[in-house]
Structures are given as C-alpha cells and as structure tokens.
C-alpha cells in the first residue's frame, strides 16, 4: 500500500506577497513561476509588470487577478508603487529577457526587496560581482532560478553525496543537450537567430543558455565549485557566430573531475538534462525527463531504483516531494521547491530565527556569479583551442 503524503504544513499568519516582472502572456517561463509560487499557499500573487508592452502587461495582470493599481505597466513604475506601500511585496521574481536581469535585480535589492532572478543572473562577470556585493550589503535574499535543483531526487543525490554514501567523488558527468535548434532552415528565423548573435546574446549561446544549468547542478550535488575548465565549442550550423554545441572538461575544488556536454542540435533529444556522479563506493544516475527515479549502484552491489516519495529518503528529499508515490512530479513542482525554500528563508528572517537547514538550499547570487565566470571561461577557452582557463570569478580567487 502506498503511503499518502500529508500536505505541506502552512504557517499561520498572513501570506507572503509575491510579484513578478516579465513572464507575460505567452511567455515560456511565466506559467511555471506562477504555478510554483502558488503551490503551497505561502505566496499571494500581489503585483506584476508582466510584459514589455505596458498595456498588455496591465491587462494580463488584471486577468490573472491583480488589483488594478498593482498591475503595472513597467518595472520602474512597479518599484515606485511597491516601495511606498505598507503591504509591499515580500519577494519579486525577475523573468524578463537576460539583458535586463542585472538592472532590475540591482534596483529591487537596493530598494529593500528580496529577489528571485532568472538565469543567467547577469551578462558579465563584473555585473555578477556587483549583484553579489549589493545582496550582501543590503542583507536581502538574491536567489537565482536554477530551478532544476528543486527536484526531490536531486536534493536526495546531494544528501547521499554529503553523507558519504558514494565515498570520495571521483567524477561527475553533466549533460544538457536538446535538438530544438537543429534545423538549418531556422538559421534566419528571428526567434532563433538572436540567440547565436553576440550583439544580442553575449559571448556564448548554448553554454550560457543551457550548459550553466548542468554545471550548476554538478556543483550543487557534489558540494564542490569549478576551479578551471577547457572547452571545445563549435557552431555545427556554420552561419552561427556563437556555439550550438560544447564539450567542457572541468576540475572541481574537492578534486572531482567534471565532464559536460551541451548542445542544441542533438535531434531527438528533448530537454536532455542529466547528471551522473561516480564515487569510490557507488554511482548515481538521474535524468530530468524521468525525474521520479534515481538509479543507485553501490560498488559490488546491485543496481537499485530509488523512487521519489518512498519511505526513508533524506529530509531534503522528503520535504520537496508533494504527490503520492507513483504519480509523476515535474518541473513546476521543482520550481515550487525553490519558492518553498524562499518562503522559509523570508519567514525565518521576519521571525528572527534560524531557517530549517533542509530548506537552505536555494541557489544564490554567488551561484549566478560563478556561472557567469564559467560562461566567459568557456568562451575564452573555446576560442583558444581548448586551453585550460581559471573558471572562478575574480572575487573568489
Ligand atoms: P519569453 O520571451 O518567452 O518571455 C519574456 C517575457 O518578458 C514576455 O512576456 C515579455 O513581454 C516580458 N518582458 C520583456 N521585457 C520586459 C520588461 N522590460 N519588463 C517587463 N516584462 C518584460 O522568455 P522566456 O523564455 O520566458 O525567458 C525569460 C527568462 O527566463 C530568460 O532569462 C530565460 O533565460 C529564463 N528561463 C529560465 C528557465 C529555467 O529553467 N530557469 C527556462 C526558460 C527560460
């Protein structure tokens, strides 16, 4: 008989207030944030500047239930409006296109708001360092949405590594390879073309868009940071200036060897995010497209399938598993776990208490900065025939 999981225990008192910038009607990531923030009843959707077209943003916000005076036309108007309210939002999500993240995140942190910023957090390493310094100076939470670290079994992998089930970690292999930009006829499609244009996308395309999720997950699960890397970057569709495929070798500060493949031309692969971790006494394998199963092989033992929601998982996995075992949980619930962590962090701050350590796992500005340093390191190495380069941000060297 399956054990029914009890619902999440809601804290008493008023709900936290949540706002979003970007994520308008028809956007890719907006719905996952609304589902994630809304799941536990911890956050009430209270304010938004959802679209780059002011009228469309106001209209959609009101259709989603925002009060007319909190369905803003743009983010500056929202900042001004929220700053002066007694019932101001507790957390704002920045889900706009990449080049706007830095300015919006910095402005909201400086005005005393907690922020969850979409990845990549910034476009340059210097901006990333500035966000880290700003978050530290203001004492506000600056989280970055590496939302796939919210999956229950990813949390369990991290817990297994931390408690030594695998022994010393020898090797981590991460992939984020899909085939959605594989059609050469799409090269001039405006929805695809900008991604490979340095003027709009920056120094990297596929690694900056997808590879950083896989690299961050390797750090999250092993508890180690990337020190140096060597990258082979290619544009398989030759008209592209930026890479659509990269193979990256890296070394981590705990001695672990890393291998990462990211691609957008891998026809037949859909989302393609996977992680394998090999230690001295066991190996783990997880794939995001089957997120409710984790494959575990102890050295000299038999291959086992760990199911999300089963008894005796780690506290970190248990608190992030919501639906009865055997029913699929997916990406919006992984995002919901980031919001669940943030609700606990915000409430702990308000109540002046330590937060639940099992919730203290949300990705931070420091992670966003490390990713940005890795993006620039991949671009530098890729241009120089794969020379090894320091992948650490200057402020962490
Ligand atoms: P999209 O192009 O589908 O939607 C962007 C939305 O932002 C639109 O509604 C647009 O009107 C709005 N917008 C643009 N500029 C704005 C401004 N200045 N003020 C207010 N609203 C504005 O983009 P998508 O795919 O949803 O990506 C948004 C961000 O989310 C990107 O940074 C992307 O990298 C990130 N993302 C993260 C994922 C994750 O797994 N964490 C997955 C997909 C995207």
pLDDT tens for residues 363-386?
999 999 999 999 999 999 999 999
Predicted pLDDT at 187: 78
108 touches 49 (CB < 8 A): no
Per-residue tokens: 168: 């010393």
**Does 61 sit in the ligand 1 pocket, CB within 6 Å?**
no
Longest dimension (CA), the chain: 64
Single pTM value for the model = 0.96
Predicted pLDDT at 188: 81
Predicted pLDDT at 354: 96
Q: Cα–Cα distance between 4 and 190 in angstroms, integer? A: 48
Predicted pLDDT at 186: 84
Pick the atom of ligand 1 nearest to 75's CA.
Answer: 19
**Does 129 sit in the ligand 1 pocket, CB within 6 Å?**
no
Nearest CA to ligand 1 atom 25: 28
Predicted pLDDT at 1: 33
* CA of 100 relative to ligand 1 center, distance in Å: 10
Q: Is the peptide bond before 193 cis (omega within 30 degrees of 0)?
A: no
* CA of 98 relative to ligand 1 center, distance in Å: 7
**Does 100 sit in the ligand 1 pocket, CB within 6 Å?**
yes
**Does 36 sit in the ligand 1 pocket, CB within 6 Å?**
no
Predicted pLDDT at 5: 46
**Does 107 sit in the ligand 1 pocket, CB within 6 Å?**
no
Nearest CA to ligand 1 atom 4: 27
Pick the atom of ligand 1 nearest to 100's CA.
Answer: 18
Q: Cα–Cα distance between 238 and 231 in angstroms, integer? A: 18
DSSP secondary structure string, 164-230?
A: TTT-SEEEEEEEEE--TT--GGGGG-HHHHGGG-HHHH-S-SHIIIIIHHHHHHHHHHHT--EEEEE
161 touches 277 (CB < 8 A): yes
Predicted pLDDT at 93: 98
CB atoms within 10 A of CB 37: 27
Element of type H or E holding 144 = strand 142-144
Angle among Cα 108, 110, 114 to the nearest 5 degrees reads: 50
Nearest CA to ligand 1 atom 10: 51
Torsion, CA 69, CA 70, CA 74, CA 76, rounded to 10: 100
Read off the pLDDT of residues 100-123 as tens digits, 9 standing for 90 and up.
Answer: 999 999 999 999 999 999 999 999
Nearest CA to ligand 1 atom 11: 51
* CA of 51 relative to ligand 1 center, distance in Å: 9
* CA of 28 relative to ligand 1 center, distance in Å: 7
Residue segments in the chain with a per-residue pLDDT below the cut of 70 = 1-13
* CA of 386 relative to ligand 1 center, distance in Å: 32
């Amino acid at each position: 008989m399956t054990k029914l999981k009890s619902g999440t225990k809601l804290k008493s008192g008023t709900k936290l207030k949540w706002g979003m910038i970007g994520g308008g009607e028809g956007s890719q990531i907006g719905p996952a944030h609304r589902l994630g923030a809304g799941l536990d009843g911890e956050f009430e959707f209270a304010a938004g500047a959802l679209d780059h077209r002011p009228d469309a943003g106001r209209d959609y916000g009101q259709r989603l239930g925002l009060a007319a005076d909190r369905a803003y036309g743009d983010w500056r108007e929202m900042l001004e409006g929220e700053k002066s309210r007694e019932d101001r939002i507790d957390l704002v999500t920045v889900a706009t296109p990449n080049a706007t993240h830095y300015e919006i995140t910095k402005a909201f942190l400086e005005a005393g708001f907690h922020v969850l910023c979409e990845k990549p957090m910034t476009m340059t390493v210097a901006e990333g360092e500035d966000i880290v310094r700003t978050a530290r100076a203001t004492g506000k939470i600056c989280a970055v949405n590496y939302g796939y670290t919210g999956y229950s079994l990813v949390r369990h992998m991290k817990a297994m590594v931390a408690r030594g089930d695998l022994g010393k970690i020898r090797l981590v292999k991460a992939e984020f390879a899909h085939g959605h930009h594989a059609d050469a006829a799409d090269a001039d499609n405006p929805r695809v073309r900008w991604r490979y244009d340095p003027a709009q996308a920056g120094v990297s395309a596929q690694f900056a868009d997808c590879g950083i999720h896989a690299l961050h997950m390797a750090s999250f699960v092993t508890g180690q940071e990337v020190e140096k890397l060597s990258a082979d970057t290619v544009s398989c569709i030759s008209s592209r200036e930026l890479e659509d495929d990269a193979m990256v070798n890296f070394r981590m500060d705990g001695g672990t060897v890393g291998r990462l493949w990211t691609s957008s031309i891998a026809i037949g692969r859909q989302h393609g995010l996977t992680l394998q971790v090999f230690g001295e006494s066991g190996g783990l394998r997880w794939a995001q497209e089957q997120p409710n199963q984790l494959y575990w092989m102890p050295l000299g033992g038999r291959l086992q399938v760990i199911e999300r929601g089963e008894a005796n998982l780690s506290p970190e996995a248990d608190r992030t598993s919501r639906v009865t075992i055997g029913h699929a949980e997916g990406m919006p619930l992984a995002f919901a776990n980031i919001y669940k962590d943030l609700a606990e962090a915000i409430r702990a701050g308000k109540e002046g208490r330590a937060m639940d350590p099992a919730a203290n796992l949300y990705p931070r500005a420091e992670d966003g900065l490390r990713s940005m340093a890795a993006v620039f390191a991949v671009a530098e190495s890729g241009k120089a025939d794969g020379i090894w380069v320091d992948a650490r941000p200057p402020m962490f060297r």
